[in-house]
Amino acid sequence: MDDPVAFAKLVAKEMVDGYATGRYAPPPEYLNTAHAAAFLGLTPAGMETMRKEGRGPAFIRASGKLVRYRVTDLRDWMAQHRVEPGEVSE
């Protein structure tokens, strides 16, 4: 679709319809690694690597293997990696 306005309207309608029919639900406050990765557009393995290397978003380790990510922490992490146009040349 070449028209960004039409595309935005289509996405907005799909989301409204999805919530109204129960196809979508707002994310819970805490996400497991797979859901957090999907939220960020990453792979679960990539999330685990970033967590182990200390360069990913903040997380909660409730027990040995129980790891959860708060949606607010994921959003904050993404905001910290925001790049303004012209700041970095590719």
Give the range of the structural domain holding residue 49, as residue numbers without chain letter. 27-80
Strongest mean pLDDT among 9-23, 28-42, 65-79: 65-79
| Domain-embedded: residue 10 | no
All residues at 6 or more sequence positions from 2 whose CB lies less than 8 Å from its CB, including other chains: none
Query: 67 lies in a domain?
Result: yes
Angle (deg, nearest 10), helices 33-40 and 44-53: 100
Say if pTM beats, i.e. exceeds, 0.85: no
Give domain status of residue 48, yes or no.
Answer: yes
Position 13 in a domain: no
- Measured CA to CA, the distance from residue 20 to residue 1 in angstroms comes to 25
Residue 70: its H or E element: strand 67-70
Total structural domains within the chain: 1
Counting DSSP H helices and E strands in the chain, the numbers are: 4, 3
What's the CATH number where 54 sits? 1.10.10
pLDDT in tens, 22-67: 676 666 899 999 989 988 999 999 999 999 999 999 999 988 889 9
State the pLDDT at residue 7: 77
Residue 72 domain-assigned? yes
